[in-house]
Amino acid sequence: MDMSPEKTRIGFIGLGVMGHSMAGHILDSGYDLCLYNRTRSKADDLVHRGAVWAESIKDLAENANVIISIVGYPQDVDRIYLDPDGILENAAPGTLAIDMTTSEPALAKTLYTRGKEKRIHILDAPVSGGDLGARNATLSIMVGGDKDAFNRALPLLQAMGQNIVYQGPAGSGQHTKMANQIAIAASMVAVCEALAYAKRAGLDPDVVLASIGQGAAGSWSLNNLGPRMLKGDFAPGFYVKHFIKDMTIAADSSKDLGLDTPGLDLAKTLYQRLADKGYETDGTQALFRLF
């Protein structure tokens, strides 16, 4: 498949905190772009810039030869791909579909198998980097599926991210994202505890952050979300409710693998407590509220 802008019409589903910026980068790269989102108003500025609105997923699937999706939950992925009005029943043979939602590895394998029956090539390609990575096109993208499909998709993925790695067969991208989320889950607890300790000890937490962020304790979460915590900026770069979803998938997958994950379990419990207090639509840095 020729992936040049002249030969490729992209269908993009999901214009949330990250998807909107990602779709914008595709448009800026010169591709014809067709959009669908449950809330149409989120597409208005992209349509003004030259994208075309699709009235349904069926309409989008019938008019694109590459489809990119990034939606909220596994059940959303299931619906947009497997419903009678969804992608697999309406896209033409030879279509390449890239699901960038953080979803279940088992579902990624099901979509791949069902897609293969219809000669639709499906990649699972979840991302990491939050709103900043999406805006700056610096996302890490973890890809599972057939290697030749990955090679064809690479120019599009490079429009949205920088660290793009083929992980293996279908489901491998999602498994990699679970490893990513497990690492983040425990580290977010540690970041909150460290900054709370600095404040309780009477230190200037911004000065402390300047020191420990450049040492062995330095991490993406500490250096990017730590300053937001200290400013009381809890606007979502990635929703608490979606992180809980990811941690639930990771915990279930870990159990299937016979793996004990006490750090993940603790973080999930704390984030659920945060959501129960009414903060599920805050950014993940809002865990600091509990401390």
pLDDT reported for residue 64:
97
- Pick from 127, 147, 169: which residue ends a domain? 169
pTM recorded for the entire structure = 0.92
| Helices 262-274 and 240-256, packing angle to 10 deg | 150
Q: Which of 58, 109, 177, 268 is catalytic?
A: 177
List, for the chain, all residue ranges whose pLDDT scores fall below the cut of 50. none
Determine the structural domain holding residue 97 and report its residue range. Answer: 9-169
Examine the domain organization and report whether 84 and 154 are in the same domain: yes
Looking at 169, 203, 232, the residue that finishes a domain is 169
pLDDT in tens, 85-99: 999 999 999 999 999
Residue 121 backbone zone (phi > 0: left; psi -120 to 50: alpha; other: beta): beta
Quote the pLDDT of residue 213.
95
pLDDT at 2: 67
Known catalytic residue at 177 = yes
CB 13 within 8 A of CB 60: yes
The CATH number for 271's domain is 1.10.1040.10
